[in-house]
């Protein structure tokens, strides 16, 4: 998909299903790298190792496993994460420090590093320029579909590509959820430039989604740039264009994650307008998006605007309840803090029966706005998470 990058996958047996659970991304040349990670104070061993290694600004490969988070596993977990990287490095004949690691799955169980060692030859032999779909499936846990986005971008007389692969369907409320994302581009850029661009794009995408309000211990987003296209992202025009496309790729992946939320039947965009500040708008949007009562009403196809008002009121943002308007798509459900009657109720009910729709909250206090994306809480979400380990 992207010049100079290969990907592949293998089944090591970490997943009880026997499905592929080990993935590898390899750059044929040294790549600049940037990353953003979970802000949860409990962090998995691979997060700690990868966070430290990207300080060099370069890498060659990423090896990731599903089926085990390698979190809360002490010194043994740190040793296993390092061993996983070393196995890949030795097989690829590259420096150990140039291999980054990521894990996703059950927290608190030791990683069976012997299974990874046994599967490493198959993993190495699997990598190819066409191996991205296999990699995407290998990092899935409760995901129902692989998540891949690619873009080919013209810039002057030349072009570059960006590709992103992500996983996530539960424990999703990224604060940089279980969420992993790996991005590759054949553009070239300084590591500090990549870091700035990645953080901006993440803040506008992964940090604006929620499935269940839980931030994972393993969240990792990595961006590798190997410069194979000959384009260097350094002048303002190139920086602006790269940022635009990176934003688009990450937002597309973020929306895929929400749509694939565990047991989700609704995909809902929440926009808060008329706030005094962007921070206030984001806080209100996040509070509504994470409200269990709002999300269960979405599942029940009940346009229960009172739950939205209650969530706004407990957000901690100063509001004027009598100034608030709420819309379901274009149907005004609430005006000046009060319901708009049976006709509006019927219209909003028709909207909420759709698989995708928008809720707009107009605070009528200022000129700032913010977006968030969420899904409903269904019975299946409870079933999936009630016996996740068994």
Q: Residue 144: is it exposed, middle or buried by C-beta count within 10 angstroms (0-12/13-18/19+)? A: exposed
Beta bridge partners of residue 326, listed in sequence order: 334, 361
Give the whole-angstrom CA distance, residue 259 versus residue 249: 16
Give the whole-angstrom CA distance, residue 205 versus residue 198: 10
Beta bridge partners of residue 163, listed in sequence order: 150, 184
Give the whole-angstrom CA distance, residue 366 versus residue 62: 45
Whether the CB-CB separation of 201 and 35 falls below 8 Å is answered with no
Give the whole-angstrom CA distance, residue 303 versus residue 358: 12
The sign of the CA dihedral 382, 385, 386, 390 is: positive
Element (H, E) at 310: helix 305-313
Active-site amino acid positions? 178
Whether the CB-CB separation of 214 and 168 falls below 8 Å is answered with no
Angle at alpha carbon of residue 125, lines to 119 and 129, rounded to 5° = 125
Query: Quick one: DSSP state of residue 232?
Result: B
Give the whole-angstrom CA distance, residue 31 versus residue 98: 9
Query: Quick one: DSSP state of residue 188?
Result: B
Whether the CB-CB separation of 248 and 152 falls below 8 Å is answered with no
Angle at alpha carbon of residue 183, lines to 286 and 97, rounded to 5° = 115
What are the CA-CA distances from residue 15 to residues 10, 20, 286 (Å)? 11, 8, 33
């Amino acid at each position: 998909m992207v010049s100079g990058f290969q990907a592949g996958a293998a089944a090591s047996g970490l997943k009880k299903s026997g499905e592929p659970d080990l993935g590898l991304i390899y750059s044929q040349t040294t790549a600049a790298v940037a990353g953003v990670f979970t802000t949860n104070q409990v962090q998995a061993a691979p997060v700690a190792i990868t966070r430290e290694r990207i300080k060099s600004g370069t890498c060659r490969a990423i090896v990731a496993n599903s089926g085990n988070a390698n979190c809360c596993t002490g010194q043994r977990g740190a040793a296993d994460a390092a061993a996983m990287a070393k196995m890949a490095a030795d097989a690829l004949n590259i420096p150990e420090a140039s291999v980054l690691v990521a894990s996703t799955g059950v927290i608190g169980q030791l990683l069976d590093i012997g299974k990874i060692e046994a599967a490493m030859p198959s993993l190495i032999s699997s990598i190819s320029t066409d191996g991205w779909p296999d990699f995407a499936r290998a990092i899935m846990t409760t995901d129902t579909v692989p998540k891949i986005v690619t873009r080919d971008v013209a810039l002057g007389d030349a072009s570059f590509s960006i590709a992103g692969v992500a996983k996530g369907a539960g424990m999703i409320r990224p604060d940089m959820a279980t969420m992993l994302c790996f991005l590759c581009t054949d553009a070239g850029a300084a590591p500090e430039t990549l870091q700035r661009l990645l953080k901006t794009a993440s803040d506008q995408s992964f940090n604006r989604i929620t499935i269940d309000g839980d931030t994972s211990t393993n969240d990792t987003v990595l961006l590798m740039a190997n410069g194979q296209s000959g384009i260097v992202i350094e002048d303002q025009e190139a920086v602006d264009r790269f940022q635009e496309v990176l934003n688009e790729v990450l937002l597309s992946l973020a929306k895929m994650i929400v749509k694939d939320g565990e047991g989700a039947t609704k995909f809902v965009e929440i926009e808060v307008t008329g706030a005094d500040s962007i921070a206030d708008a984001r806080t209100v949007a996040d509070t509504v998006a994470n409200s269990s009562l709002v999300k269960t009403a979405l599942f029940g196809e009940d346009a229960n605007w009172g739950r939205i008002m209650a969530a706004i009121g407990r957000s901690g943002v100063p509001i004027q309840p009598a100034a608030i308007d709420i819309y379901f798509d274009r149907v005004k459900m609430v005006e000046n803090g009060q319901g708009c009657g049976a006709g509006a109720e019927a219209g909003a009910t028709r909207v909420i029966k759709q698989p995708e729709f928008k809720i707009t909250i107009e605070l009528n206090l200022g000129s700032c706005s913010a977006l968030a994306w969420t899904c409903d809480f269904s019975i299946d979400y409870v079933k999936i998470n009630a016996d996740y380990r068994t």
